[in-house]
Amino acid sequence: MITEFGSLTVFWTTHNPRGLSSKDTFMAKYCDDQAKLIGTVDQSEAQKCGPPPSSQV
């Protein structure tokens, strides 16, 4: 799991059996479905806190 300001990334993997299992893909899909349900946005579309971009040219 990686937490950054304004985002959270979760990686699923299994130790036994090695690699990905059907449980991993099930949980990944579940997380994606829940993210859609609560209205998450793509990181590139997320609004950040802070000063507005400079309008100087």
Q: What is the pLDDT of residues 10-44, one digit of tens each?
A: 887 777 777 778 888 888 889 889 888 888 777 67
Identify whether 52 is part of a domain. Answer: no
Identify whether 53 is part of a domain. Answer: no
Identify whether 24 is part of a domain. Answer: yes
Range of the domain at 29: 2-44
pLDDT at 17: 78
Looking at the 3D structure of the chain, how many domains does it have? 1
Identify whether 34 is part of a domain. Answer: yes
Identify whether 28 is part of a domain. Answer: yes
Q: What is the pTM of this model?
A: 0.51
CA 35 to chain centre: 8
pLDDT at 52: 66
Q: Which residue has the tokens 């990905």?
A: 20
